[in-house]
Amino acid sequence: MTATPHPPRRAFARLMLAALAAPVLGAALGAALGAVPARAAEPQSATLTIAAQAYGTVNWELETIRAHGFDTANGFTLVVKGMAGGPAARIAFQAGEADAMVADWIWVARQRADGRDYTFLPYSKAVGALMVPADGATSLAALKGGEIGIAGGPLDKSWLILNAWAKRSQGIDLAAETRQVYGAPPLIFQNARAGRLAGAINYWHYGAKMEAAGMRVLASVEDAAAALGLDPETPLLGYVFTDRLVTEKPALIAAFARASRAAKALLLADDAAWEALRGLMKATDEAEFIALREGWRAGVPKPGAVDEASAAAMLALMAELGGADLVGRATTLPAGVFLTAAP
C-alpha cells in the first residue's frame, strides 16, 4: 500500500460537510462519490467495523447500508459487531476491537475533556417523552405523590430536562414531589404498560411502543428543551471515532458518512425499505411497527454541521443539572467534539 499525505482536519471538515449535504440516491450519489479527491482514497478493500448493541435501533440504519450496498458503492465494507449492550460496545471500541461505536455527544465531550481523542458524527436527534396511561394524569401537578419510572437512571438527560422545565415553567419539582424508580428500559416499559406507574420516561423507541399501546405523551423532551432555550434540532446520538482514524483514513470516514446519509434518505422516503427490517424491529403488531418507523424518521437530523453554539448551550445546562457526575470536566464544549465542524 502506497502511503498518501493526510489532509489537515480543516480540509477534512470541508470534505465531510460536502459528503453529508450531498444528495445520495441515484445519479446524485455518483456525483457525491466523485467529489472525494483521488489522493485521499483508500483501497477498495477497506473495512469499517462498528460495535453496536444487538437489536439497538442503530442496526436499522446499519443493516440498510449493508443490504442496499451503500458501503460497497462508496468503496468500503461495513462490518457490524453485535454487542450485548452499550457498555460492551464501549469496551470493544476503547480496546481497539472496533473502529466506531454509538454514543451521545455529551459523553464524547466528557471524554475529550479528559484528553481522549474521540469525535462524533451525528446519527439521531430522537428523544423521549414523559408518558402516562390513557386514563392517567392530565397535568404535571397530577403526578404528585406518584411513581415515575426512568430508564436511564437519575442522570438521564431526558429526566433532567423535563424536571428543569417543570420547575421553571410550572414551579413543580418532580424530583421532590414524585417517587422515582429506575430500571432497564424493557422493565420500565412493561410496568408502564401494565399501569403500575403514574408516568414513565424511556428511550424513544420504547416511548413509541407505549404510545402504540395506548399511553399518552404528557410532556415531550423536545418541547421541554425548546422551552428551556435549547435547539431541539441538535442531534444527541452519533457514531464515535478516534481522531487518529479520521486523520489516517479520511476518505473512509467520509465514505461512511455518505453511506449513512444514503440509508437515511432511503428509509425516509420508502416505506417498502422497512419491510426487511421487521425482524430487527421486533414490533408486536402493525401499530407498533408504524410507530417505530415514524419515530425513527422524526429523529433523522438535518445534513450538515452541528450548530456548536446550540450544543454548547445544551452542555452548559447538563453541567448545571447533572454536575460533574454527568459531564466530568466538560463544563464548556471542548474543541473537536463534532466531526463535521472545523477546529
Higher pLDDT, 17 or 257: 257
48 vs 17, more confident: 48
- CA 339, CA 253: separation in Å to the nearest integer? 10
Angle at 14 between CA 12 and CA 17, to 5 degrees: 110
Q: In terms of DSSP H, where are the helices of 179-307? A: 185-193, 204-212, 221-227, 243-248, 250-269, 278-281, 286-298
**Dist. CA 141–CA 268, nearest whole Å:** 38
- 66-117 pLDDT, tens digit per residue, is 999 999 999 999 999 999 999 999 999 999 999 999 999 999 999 999 999 9
Indicate the average pLDDT of the chain: 88
Cell numbers representing residue 284 in the block:
408486536
Q: Which three cell numbers mark 338?
A: 463534532
Whole-model pTM: value is 0.85
List, in order, residues 6 or more apart from 332 with CB less than 8 Å away.
312, 315, 316
- Which pLDDT does position 29 carry in this prediction? 32
203 or 55, which is more confident: 203
For the chain, give the percent of residues with pLDDT over 90. Answer: 84
CA dist 19 and 35 (Å) reads 8
What pLDDT does residue 340 have?
66
pLDDT, tens only, 34-45: 333 333 444 446
Q: Which of 151-165, 224-238, 328-342 has the least mean pLDDT?
A: 328-342
- What are the structural domains of the chain? 9-125+234-327 (3.40.190.10), 129-227 (3.40.190.10)
Q: Dig out the grid coordinates for 221 from the structure.
A: 423532551
Number of CB atoms found within 10 A of residue 282's CB: 12
170: number of Cβ within 10 Å: 13
Q: How far apart are CA 308 and CA 50, in angstroms?
A: 25
Residue 51 Cα distances to 8, 80, 83, 275, 291, angstroms: 27, 6, 7, 24, 26
Range in 16-20, 135-139, 250-254, 310-314 with the lowest mean pLDDT: 16-20
Report whether pLDDT(211) > 80: yes
Q: Within a 10 A sphere around the Cβ of 3, how many other Cβ atoms?
A: 5
pLDDT tens profile 290-327: 999 999 999 999 998 999 999 999 999 999 999 999 99
Predicted local confidence at residue 45, as pLDDT: 60
Q: pLDDT tens digits, residue range 110-142?
A: 999 999 999 999 999 999 999 999 999 999 999
